[in-house]
Amino acid sequence: MLTLSDQRLTIEAIESLASGEFHIQLDENPAYRARLQAGVDFLDSLLAQEGVIYGVTTGYGDSCVHAVPSELVPQLPVNLSRFHGCGMGEAFSHRQARAIVAVRLCSLAKGYSAVSIPLLSMLVNLLEADLMPVIPQEGSVGASGDLTPLSYLAAVLIGEREVTHNGKRYATAQAFRQFNLTPLKLRPKEGLALMNGTAVMTALACEAFKRAQYLCLLGAKLTAMAVVALKGNAFHFDQKLFAMKPHQGQAQIAALIAKELAQDELPRNSSRLQNRYSIRCAPHIIGVLQDCLPWCREFIENELNSANDNPLIDAQGEHVLHGGHFYGGHIACVMDTMKAQVANLADLFDRQMALLTDPKFNNGLPRNLSAASEERAAINHGFKAVHIAMSAWTAEALKNSMPASVFSRSTECHNQDKVSMGTIAARDCLRVLTLTEQVFAAHLLGVTQAIECRLRAKELEEDALSPGLMHIREQVLSVFDIVEEDRPLEPTLREVSEKIRLQAWSLEHE
């Protein structure tokens, strides 16, 4: 159970809420609740004095110059949610929707958005009932925050649009009746507080971070397997060498690779003193992403734990603070950087597979890694098409690595004249991760096939493999039969890719 107040949350907490591992409740501490109520009361006092407050007594965006009559103020947040109901594209997954709701709840719970306790409680209720808004992926430029996608959350709170539950879609009103939930009547500013923030891009960034972190660790294992399969030079990963170029993440990856190669029985009869770059420089390539992860975490978690709507309400100091905290530049930076480095991993393992499948470079492995008998070798092509597919996935990943943040568009009557594109960057990053996970899945099957070929040829003994590599090999062989006769590998590739996406392959042996 996570008790939410204004404490700092981590990427892992959001991911646990997204997967349903955590339950959540709002802190009942009287001092915390009094601070939340103070923001609401201060806003009410300004309204009673006919104060001018952006998005409360004015129109939105460029329309802020238009005053809203007091009798129409209660209708304004409803209209905000409705006119932003123009999202397109596929909906975010149910899990991603849970992360989006959790991230928005975390920000609003900081107490600077003048939202009521019933609104926060309703967000908690949605998570606990597992009723998630159906949120189209397309339509956000990342400033003023994720207005259009978050309008689908605001609409659900007032009983409109659709939710998902147990894999099915329901009209929100129907689902609320079933779960005995009463739609909210949004207070002044609450529509704006819900929508004018970076929750969508930040939720996607939390997911992307965990997937990228896992690929770094798995990439070290895959490289070690490739070194074994190619009879490569294990001394390329010596820690004395990496002490001389002290990038911490790079050294960590080299150490992980070296750990799996510290076996005296490994073959050393490579004809090359220095392996090709995709083997020798693997720590330098994977290590760039590994070294990026600490500052990526800092940026993501700072955004996660920020109050990022506009205006913000300082009840204690009695200030209404108009600003631009909805701008998603930090998330855009993280996602643009991450997708480029992840795409580099796809390229790395596509190149390693090229070495494994080509008899000019694979140090005696069968052509295309086919394990067919000598009599049937002429008609069997092993991993030939798999490597072509890997090249296709890699090319698409590299194409999608163009930074989205440089494509700002002036919009909304030139009020939003410089925008972050953070949500597009995050969506791009997840697509690049998916493509790269497919490359990893194919490579995992390929290096396992290569090692099995060495074992069958008596060029390698099982006890020469480190416990870590044996552990990975056993997991792969539990779902994959060595390719002796050509067969479609799509079902296995899909299964292995999904396991990688969910970080289900155990990377540590017991």
- Residues with a catalytic annotation lie at 54
What does the alpha-carbon distance between residue 329 and residue 202 come to, in Å, rounded to a whole number? Answer: 11
**Radius of gyration (C-alpha) of the chain in whole angstroms:** 27
Reading the block at residue 263, the tokens are 């076996």
Q: Transcribe 172-205 into DSSP letters.
A: HHHHHHHTT-----PPTTHHHHHHSS-HHHHHHH
3-state secondary structure 404-428: CHHHCCCECCCCECCCCCHHHHHHH
Residue 340: half-sphere exposure toward Cβ, Cα within 13 Å: 11
What does the alpha-carbon distance between residue 53 and residue 55 come to, in Å, rounded to a whole number? Answer: 6
Question: Cβ(13)–Cβ(208) under 8 Å?
Answer: no
Q: Transcribe 22-90 into DSSP letters.
A: S-EEE---HHHHHHHHHHHHHHHHHHHTT---TTTTB-SGGGGGSB--GGGGGGHHHHHHHHT---EEE
Q: Is 397 left (phi over 0), alpha (psi -120 to 50) or beta?
A: alpha
Looking at residue 302, its amino acid is N
